[in-house]
Structure formats: structure tokens, C-alpha cells
Structure 1
Amino acid sequence: EIMQVAEKRVVNKVVFILLFTAVIFLFLSFQNIEAATGKIGLVNLAEVISGHPYTQNINQLSLNLREELQKRQEELNKQGKGLDETGLRKLEDKFNKEW
């Protein structure tokens, strides 16, 4: 019985030491990750993309296309008032050929 108590104490000490070591290991690994993050820094993808010279060009082309489509739709609506379905189709075909 004394041996069982002694074995339990030894097992408890071993478990405690292993858990304590694991906690220290985890703590140190998180410290290393934070230090590396501080040195390297996180990349903000939006800043990288917005800083690229072609991004401005793409944004401008997109804006121009939206404006052109809006003008085209307004012109189609203006010319298409009062037309029947066949007339509207012909007008749309004409606009599509011009496009």
C-alpha cells in the first residue's frame, strides 16, 4: 500500500512536470510568433492592390464603361418610347450593331 501511494506521487509529479513543460513551450512559441509578426508585419492586400498602377486604369475603365452603358440605356429609352415590341427589337438590334 505504501508502494502504491509512492507510485501515485511519482506519477502525479511526472504529469505535473509534463504539463508545466507543455505550458512553457506553448508560451514561448506564441512569443516567437508575435515577435515574428512584429518584425515582418501583416500585408494589407487592399493597400497593395490599390497602389498598383494598373488598378487606377482598371477603375477608370470600369467607370467609363458604366457611364457609357447608362448613356446608351437612356438613349434607348428615349428613342424607344411609344414603339411596339417589334420596333423595340429593331432599335435594340441597331444599338447592338453600333456598339
Structure 2
Amino acid sequence: MLVHLQIRNFAIIDQLELDFAAGMSAITGETGAGKSIAVDALSLLLGDRADSSVIRHGAKSAELCALFDVSALAPVQKWLQERELMPPDTVPDATGLEC
């Protein structure tokens, strides 16, 4: 489960931090507020390709960070361990982590 998303200097977003609680979350806002940009940032974090055009005008770089809690997702834990992205015997939640 996505628990935190942090975006800096990405497209029109200067800085944005979103925290998600258990259950359903909805991102709402007026046209042009950046809802789709937040989804695009998450897509990049999950492997989509990007180029320098996504960097906010006037900034040197963009920063994206997402924290996930996979403690209840055994198949995800196995996948991460098989790729040596999560050590065995690790508590796979985002408690205490920061972007």
C-alpha cells in the first residue's frame, strides 16, 4: 500500500507531500491543480521512462519519493527478496522511514 508520496520540482509542482491512510483515498481538485501530475510522478517511481522535460522550469533537478507498506503482501515481499531489494527477515513496512 502506498503510504507517502513526495514530489519536488516535477512539472508544475514545486513541492508536494501526500500521506495516505489505510482504506480508500481520493485525490480531488480543480482542473490544472496537478492531480494527473501526481499520478505521472508515481508512474515514474514504478518504472516509467522520463526525460528532462519533467523538471520544473527553473530547477536543476526533480525529486520523487514513495513509501510503500508491503507487510500484508507476501507475493510482493517474495518478489523483492528474489531480486535482493529487501533482505530476508525484514519487517516490510514504512514505519519510521522518510523520503
**TM superposition score category, shorter chain reference:** under 0.3
Q: Which structure has the highest helix share of the two? A: 1
Higher relative contact order (CA 8 A, sep 6+): 2
Structure with a larger share of its residues in strand: 2
Q: What TM-score, normalized by structure 1, do the two folds share?
A: 0.24
Structure ID, larger Rg: 1
